[in-house]
């Protein structure tokens, strides 16, 4: 939507295709905030410190030119949001309120904990998404609400010239032609059985890209958020720990002091999640099954909780039957974010690599937000950086398309056979007979991913998982669609979504097995050390031959010195 806004503001004809009404996208669930060095909490704050934290957080496979761009342009993008009306919380001086988040430091890790995450209470994503939609409304962007994009249309030169989309209300299928197609389709957390992600996070963009033969990058990197409500999977913001909450095991011990003596509960998310799993494995978990730990907040007092974390209090009471004012919340690491995605440059242009290993722009295709891998998150995303990522690179994509349109984009039209090619999957599904039930297959897929590609991974287990997935491919492609009706047929959409989930899962599995090291969110029992000699690089998964290649990480920021890889401790 940020990209659309940019284009609509400049008067270009812009349409947003969205499978849910725009304010129902998953950004709405982001709670804690948007991290950015706007120098409110600390007047001396510097975007370079934010850059340092992000590079370190990424375990050094974040592209430093992209991180530099995000952190330096960030303040401008955040102020724009404020001018659009985003109701940020405020400081006494009237500036935007910033709270501490995990992995944040001052003075390149030397100056202690920073408070850099701009917040609208604990509803920042909601406020941001509504503000962006309102901005688009003001600028008269066209919205195709509840239209579902099924596949990319490529012309004979391999350029992307639009998408096939279904109007969910009527079932009508059309080819929507465009000079530039921007994917902002979000993540695919639903490949896991336990996830903080919404039902709609089915990796549609990744599925479409893979089916069109385009590669994905670092797709093995999945962030497990330390604090999902046990059982329900609902997210509890890191802001809770930013405001002073901490994790305890069954003995009431604040165990993060052992794992991360300096940052404690505000270490990187991967570090905290792994520590929690270790506590649970070693028998110090809470509850009758010993399968979770507690997040303690009651010591903050009712006033702080109700003013700074009202949404969390509400969620905890509803889903954990625990009132944070009085008792701790049962939490467990839960699949949260896809660091990998469609590789792009800082302009949001999707990339592939040619035979000699050089980056090649895919004409007509852009990606931003979670579906993209710019890569600013590398192997582990810092809290509050996802909202910044989507705003900064959505804006950058818009700016780039604006420029390109001014200079003129000239692409050949898609031929009938190109369109037919893109329609083939839908046609096949619509004529399917027999086959297995979609919900059952989805469950099987999610369990496979959960059990074989979770927080800790090893070769034996992953091999088994890959074999199971190989078996699932045919069964999922042949899944049954009983209901062939046109009007608001959610069964058809769910079947199409399952195909996308599978594409993401398979890419994840094959790449995870290949990366023989532990880095960021990718933790292996059998290769416990980071291997900078062989794996200080992006993985690239090529769908046509299911091959995993490598792509160099950018270590050449334009205005600052390179941050050299160091051991990552908190």
Q: Which is nearer to other proteins, 78 or 277 (CB)?
A: 78
Rounded to whole angstroms, how far apart are CA atoms 180 and 411?
10
92 touches other proteins (CB under 8 A)? yes
Rounded to whole angstroms, how far apart are CA atoms 373 and 343?
5
480 assigned to active site: no
> Which residue from 72, 89, 227, 386 is in contact with other proteins, where contact means CB under 8 A?
89
Footprint on residues 382-421 left by other proteins (CB under 8 A): none
Task: Indicate the burial class of 550 (C-beta count within 10 angstroms; 0-12, 13-18, 19 or more).
Answer: middle
> Which residue from 69, 88, 337, 541 is in contact with other proteins, where contact means CB under 8 A?
88
Residue window 341-380: x/- pattern of binding to other proteins, with contact defined by CB under 8 A: ----------------------------------------
Q: Look at residues 429, 503, 419 and name the one whose alpha carbon lies nearest to residue 153.
A: 419
Q: Which is nearer to other proteins, 29 or 155 (CB)?
A: 29
93 touches other proteins (CB under 8 A)? yes
Q: Look at residues 55, 56, 36, 54 and name the one whose alpha carbon lies nearest to residue 46.
A: 36
84 touches other proteins (CB under 8 A)? yes
Footprint on residues 100-139 left by other proteins (CB under 8 A): 120, 123, 126-127, 130, 134-135, 137-138
Rg for the chain, CA atoms, rounded: 22
Rounded to whole angstroms, how far apart are CA atoms 461 and 451?
8
Rounded to whole angstroms, how far apart are CA atoms 266 and 281?
22
Helices (H), 333-478: 385-407, 416-430, 438-452, 459-477
Rounded to whole angstroms, how far apart are CA atoms 314 and 370?
27
Judged by CB under 8 A, which stretch of 48-56, 215-223, 313-321, 353-361 contacts other proteins? 313-321
For residue 9, give the H/E element and its range: helix 2-9
Q: Which two tokens stand for residue 459?
A: 């070769």
Q: In what order do the strands lie in the sheet with 173-177?
A: 147-154, 160-167, 173-177
Q: Which two tokens stand for residue 440?
A: 């059952």
Residue window 424-443: x/- pattern of binding to other proteins, with contact defined by CB under 8 A: -------------xxx----
Footprint on residues 152-171 left by other proteins (CB under 8 A): 169
Q: Which is nearer to other proteins, 82 or 514 (CB)?
A: 82
- Is there a contact between 536 and 218 (Cβ–Cβ < 8 Å)? no
> Which residue from 33, 215, 311, 328 is in contact with other proteins, where contact means CB under 8 A?
311
Q: Which is nearer to other proteins, 29 or 58 (CB)?
A: 29
Footprint on residues 467-496 left by other proteins (CB under 8 A): 482-483, 485-491, 494
Q: Which of 269, 381, 515, 530 is catalytic?
A: 269
> Given the DSSP bridges, would you call strands 537-542 and 547-552 parallel, antiparallel or unpaired?
antiparallel
Footprint on residues 172-231 left by other proteins (CB under 8 A): 198-200
29 touches other proteins (CB under 8 A)? yes
315 touches other proteins (CB under 8 A)? yes
HSE-up (13 A, CA, CB side) for residue 193? 17
Positions marked active-site: 269
Give contact residues for other proteins (rule: CB under 8 A). Answer: 20-21, 23-26, 28-29, 38, 78-79, 82-85, 87-96, 120, 123, 126-127, 130, 134-135, 137-138, 169, 198-200, 232, 234-235, 311, 314-315, 318-319, 437-439, 482-483, 485-491, 494
């Amino acid at each position: 939507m940020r990209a659309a806004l940019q284009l609509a503001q400049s008067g270009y004809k812009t349409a947003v295709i969205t499978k849910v009404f725009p304010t129902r996208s998953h950004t709405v669930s982001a709670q804690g905030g948007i991290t950015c060095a706007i120098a409110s909490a600390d007047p001396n704050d510097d975007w370079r410190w934010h850059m340092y934290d992000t590079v370190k957080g990424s375990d050094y496979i974040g592209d430093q030119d992209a991180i530099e761009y995000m952190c330096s342009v960030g303040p401008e993008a955040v102020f724009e949001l404020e001018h659009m009306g985003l109701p940020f919380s405020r400081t006494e001086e009237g500036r935007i309120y910033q709270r501490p988040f995990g992995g944040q430091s001052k003075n390149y890790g030397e100056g202690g904990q920073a408070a850099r995450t701009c917040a609208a209470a604990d509803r920042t994503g909601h406020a941001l998404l509504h503000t962006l939609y309102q901005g688009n409304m003001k600028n008269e962007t066209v919205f195709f609400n509840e239209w579902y994009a099924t596949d990319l249309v490529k012309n004979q030169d391999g350029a992307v010239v639009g998408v096939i989309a279904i109007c969910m209300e009527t079932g009508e299928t059309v080819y929507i032609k465009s000079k530039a197609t921007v994917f902002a389709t979000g993540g695919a957390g639903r490949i896991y059985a336990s996830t903080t992600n919404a039902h709609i996070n089915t990796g549609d963009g990744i599925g479409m890209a893979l089916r069109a033969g385009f590669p994905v990058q670092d797709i093995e990197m999945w962030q497990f958020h330390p604090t999902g409500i046990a059982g329900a999977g609902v997210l509890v913001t890191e802001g809770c720990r930013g405001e002073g909450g901490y994790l305890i095991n069954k003995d009431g011990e604040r165990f993060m002091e052992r794992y991360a003596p300096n940052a404690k509960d505000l270490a990187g998310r991967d570090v905290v999640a792994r520590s929690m799993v270790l506590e649970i494995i070693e028998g110090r978990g809470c509850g009758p099954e010993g399968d979770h730990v507690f997040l303690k907040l009651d010591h903050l007092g009712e006033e702080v909780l109700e003013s700074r974390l009202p949404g969390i209090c509400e969620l905890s009471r509803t889903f954990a039957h625990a009132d944070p004012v009085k008792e701790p919340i049962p939490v467990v690491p839960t699949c949260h974010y896809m660091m990998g995605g469609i590789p792009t440059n800082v302009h949001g242009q999707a990339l592939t690599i040619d035979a000699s290993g050089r980056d090649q722009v895919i004409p007509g295709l852009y990606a931003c937000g979670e579906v993209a891998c710019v890569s600013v998150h590398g192997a582990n995303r810092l809290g509050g950086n996802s909202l910044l990522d989507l705003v900064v690179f959505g804006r950058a994509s818009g700016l780039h398309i604006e420029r390109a349109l001014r200079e003129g984009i000239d692409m050949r039209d898609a031929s009938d056979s190109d369109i037919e090619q893109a329609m083939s999957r839908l046609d096949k599904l619509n004529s399917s007979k027999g086959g297995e039930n979609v919900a059952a297959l989805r469950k099987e897929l999610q369990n496979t991913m959960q059990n074989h590609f979770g927080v800790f991974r090893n070769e034996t287990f992953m091999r088994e998982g890959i074999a199971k997935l190989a078996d699932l491919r045919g069964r999922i492609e042949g899944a049954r669609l009983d209901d062939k009706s046109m009007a608001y047929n959610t069964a058809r959409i769910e079947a199409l979504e399952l195909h996308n989930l599978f594409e993401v899962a398979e890419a994840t599995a094959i790449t995870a097995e290949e990366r023989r090291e532990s880095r960021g969110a990718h933790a292996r029992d059998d290769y416990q050390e980071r291997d900078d000699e062989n794996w200080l690089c992006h993985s690239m998964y090529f769908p046509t031959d299911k091959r995993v290649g490598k792509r160099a990480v950018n270590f050449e920021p334009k205005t600052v010195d390179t941050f050299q890889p160091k051991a990552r401790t908190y």
